[in-house]
């Protein structure tokens, strides 16, 4: 079945970004020639480039609809990245750095076109490092931003060198509702955020070593604040308690290993507080009492991620959390620690189950999960100890197994029939990722296709396989009519480079809308 044609909107945005890169390529030799001159002509070249980009920015700001501007921005950034890579590959080994910079500066200059009021979301950390300074220095021009991700910036090495730049940018961002600034946030920056960005709802400042308890008063001033990710900052337990008590709309603190102790302190010292609005609980230290308090003080909790210590916690305490729908369990035994019993009671509410370093998982355990967690949409088995079944669950299934499962992460060594059982029964599966330890083969997928055509599968990533051949890739494309992504084929050891080239040519010729990963580095170098 041929892939569906692309939407006209997508085609227009892609070709618009391509046209800009073509303009950049045509300008490169002109700017390179002018850069070789000194004085007036070199300065004139930069002036001409700046004027061209300014005119283009005005045109695109006028012509691209506001609701499509973010998508256009992502497409342009990707194509500029590709253009820079093409420039690198085209350079001779004896080429000077000045030639390279003169060409790359033209490509980077095109990113100025995104400096518009229409831009709503920007992830600077997704850009090549040589592009980022354009946006760092012009943040004040992006007055319409709703979400900004500055990433790690200097990685915490030169935090105060960037502080002034950030402060100048945030003055104009009145509409900002989400900010990510890892490693390089400071108390001063948060003070500015509270003053100039009063509508903030999401703040991720994790790993920032200059964030202290002084920042709590600034966070509390953000009346709409719902998410504050503070992992690995200098905020102490007293600061977190103050934030929980005073930030009335806070729903998520991210990972904080002392969160259970905070709840204990609030329960003992703030009798006037009957409930908190927390909806997520993620910690590596929790006791049975902490889970009980969580159920009492936080009635809206739906997400729980805990590292289990059998000496401190009884997992059956999870039964008291009424709205539990996403459960992440680390380091426990499926049967000995009563995970089965928890699922028997709470499984009917679960839509996401993540088991990491969980032992004693056999075919019976998988069947229990499938029968108790009827509405399960996401299942992740990561580095679990999966053992052969000594006795099998022989009753007829009361409910079709995994009938609502949509996403599967399977990163555990196990008997092949375990994975096969899940994929045969998961008729609505959309996403599959298999780790390096998982056994796969052509014969296995043939058996799966006989019982489940995987008609809803959109994305499959098999990280490594000793037995899969290119025949399975062809079979997936022909059989999985919704397939959009088929990555990591180059990691299948029986697939030859020329077979992968032919496969990609087939996708192009037959108009299959399937994205595949790049060729192996060696093959790419040979082709270039």
Task: Specify the DSSP element, H or E, that contains 104.
Answer: helix 97-109
* Confidence (pLDDT) at 345: 96
DSSP H helical ranges for 110-246: 129-137, 159-170, 187-196, 216-221, 237-246
Q: Tell me the average pLDDT across 234-262.
A: 96
Q: Is the pTM of this model over 0.85?
A: yes
* Confidence (pLDDT) at 261: 96
Q: What CA dihedral angle connects 235, 241, 242 and 247, to 10 degrees?
A: 100
Confidence of residue 101 (pLDDT cuts 50, 70, 90): confident
- Mind listing the pLDDT tens digit for each residue in 130-160? 888 888 888 888 889 999 998 777 777 777 8
Q: Tell me the average pLDDT across 77-100.
A: 83
- The DSSP letter of residue 520 is P
Higher-confidence residue of 517 and 133: namely 133
Q: Tell me the average pLDDT across 206-232.
A: 95
Question: At CA 515, angle to CA 514 and CA 516, rounded to 5?
Answer: 120
CB of 324 within 8 A of CB of 348? Answer: no
Domain ranges across the chain: 1-115, 120-254
Place of tokens 């022989």: 394
19 Cβ partners below 8 Å, 6+ apart? none
Which tokens go with 388? 């052969």
Buried b (16+ CB within 10 A) or exposed e, 23-56: ebeebbeebbebbeeeeeeeeebeeebeebbeeb
* Confidence (pLDDT) at 131: 85
CATH topology assigned to domain 120-254: 3.80.10
**Mapped to the 3 state alphabet, what secondary structure does 195-235 carry?**
HHCCCCCEEECCCCCECCHHHHHHHHHCCCCCEEECCCCCC
* φ and ψ of 40, to 5 deg: -60, -45
Q: Tell me the average pLDDT across 340-344.
A: 96
Confidence of residue 47 (pLDDT cuts 50, 70, 90): confident
Q: What CA dihedral angle connects 249, 254, 258 and 263, to 10 degrees?
A: 30
* Confidence (pLDDT) at 40: 59
The answer to which of 21-30, 127-136, 280-289, 431-440 has the lowest mean pLDDT is: 127-136
* Confidence (pLDDT) at 37: 65
Q: Tell me the average pLDDT across 12-16.
A: 92
% pLDDT > 70, the chain:
93
Q: Across the beta sheet with 147-151, what order do the strands follow?
A: 121-123, 147-151, 178-181, 202-204, 227-229
Comparing CA positions, the residue from 266, 251, 215, 250 lying closest to residue 236 is 215
Q: Across the beta sheet with 407-411, what order do the strands follow?
A: 280-283, 303-307, 326-333, 352-359, 378-382, 407-411, 431-434, 459-462, 485-487, 515-516
Q: Tell me the average pLDDT across 334-352.
A: 96
Distances (CA, A) of 277 to 249, 253, 299, 327, 445: 6, 11, 8, 18, 46
First to last CA, the chain: 33
Confidence of residue 391 (pLDDT cuts 50, 70, 90): low
Place of tokens 């999870």: 318
- Mind listing the pLDDT tens digit for each residue in 193-204? 999 999 999 999
Q: Tell me the average pLDDT across 342-359.
A: 96
Q: Tell me the average pLDDT across 476-491.
A: 91
* Confidence (pLDDT) at 325: 97
Whole-angstrom Cα distance, residue 355 to residue 244?
29
* Confidence (pLDDT) at 2: 45
The answer to which of 9-13, 255-259, 511-515 has the lowest mean pLDDT is: 511-515
Radius of gyration of the chain (CA): 27
In this predicted structure, the answer to whether residue 45 has a pLDDT above a threshold of 90 is no
Round the average pLDDT of the chain to a whole number and report it.
89
Confidence of residue 89 (pLDDT cuts 50, 70, 90): confident
């Amino acid at each position: 079945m041929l892939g569906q044609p692309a939407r006209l909107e997508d085609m227009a945005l892609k070709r618009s970004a391509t046209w800009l890169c073509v303009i950049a390529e045509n300008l490169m030799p002109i700017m390179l020639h002018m850069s070789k001159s000194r004085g007036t002509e070199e300065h004139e070249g930069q002036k001409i480039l700046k004027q061209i980009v300014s005119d283009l920015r005005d045109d695109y700001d006028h012509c691209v609809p506001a609701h499509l501007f973010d998508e256009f921005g992502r497409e342009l950034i990707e194509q500029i990245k590709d253009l820079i890579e093409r420039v690198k590959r085209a350079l001779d080994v004896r080429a000077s750095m000045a030639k390279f910079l003169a060409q790359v500066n033209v490509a980077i200059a095109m990113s100025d076109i995104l400096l518009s009021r229409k831009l709503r979301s920007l992830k600077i950390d997704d850009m090549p490092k040589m592009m980022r300074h354009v946006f760092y220095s012009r943040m004040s021009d992006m007055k319409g931003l709703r979400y900004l991700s500055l990433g790690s910036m200097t990685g915490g090495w030169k935090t105060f060198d960037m502080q002034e730049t950030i402060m100048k940018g945030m003055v104009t961002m009145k509409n900002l509702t989400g900010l990510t600034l890892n490693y390089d946030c400071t108390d001063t920056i948060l003070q500015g955020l509270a003053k100039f960005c009063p509508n903030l709802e999401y703040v991720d400042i994790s790993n920032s070593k200059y964030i202290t308890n002084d920042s709590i008063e600034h966070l509390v001033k953000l009346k709409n604040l719902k998410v504050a990710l503070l992992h690995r900052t200098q905020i102490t337990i007293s600061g977190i308690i103050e934030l929980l008590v005073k930030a009335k709309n806070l729903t998520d603190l991210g990972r904080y290993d002392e969160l259970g102790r905070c709840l204990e302190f609030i329960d003992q010292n703030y009798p006037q507080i009957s409930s908190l609005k927390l909806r997520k609980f993620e910690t590596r230290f929790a006791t049975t009492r902490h889970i009980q308090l969580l159920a009492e003080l936080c009635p809206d909790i739906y997400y729980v991620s805990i590292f289990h210590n059998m000496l401190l916690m009884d997992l059956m305490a999870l039964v008291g959390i009424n709205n539990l729908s996403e459960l992440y369990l680390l380091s426990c035994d499926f049967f000995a620690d009563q995970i089965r019993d928890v699922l028997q009671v709470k499984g009917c509410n679960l839509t996401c189950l993540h088991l990491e370093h969980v032992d004693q998982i056999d075919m019976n355990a998988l069947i229990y999960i499938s029968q108790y967690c009827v509405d399960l949409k996401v299942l992740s088995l990561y580095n679990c100890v999966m053992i052969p079944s000594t006795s099998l669950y022989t009753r007829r299934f009361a409910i079709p197994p995994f009938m609502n499962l949509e996403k599967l992460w399977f990163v555990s060594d196990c008997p092949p029939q375990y994975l096969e059982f899940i994929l045969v029964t998961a008729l609505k599966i959309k996403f599959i990722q298999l780790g390096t330890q998982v056994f796969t083969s052509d014969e296995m997928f043939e058996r799966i296709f006989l019982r489940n055509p995987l008609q809803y599968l959109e994305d499959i990533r098999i990280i490594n396989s000793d037995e899969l051949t290119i025949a399975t890739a062809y079979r997936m494309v022909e059989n999985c009519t919704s397939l959009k992504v088929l990555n990591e084929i180059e990691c299948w050891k029986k697939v030859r480079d020329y077979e992968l080239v032919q496969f990609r040519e087939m996708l192009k010729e037959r108009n299959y809308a399937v994205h595949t990963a790049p060729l192996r580095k060696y093959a790419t170098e040979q082709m270039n």
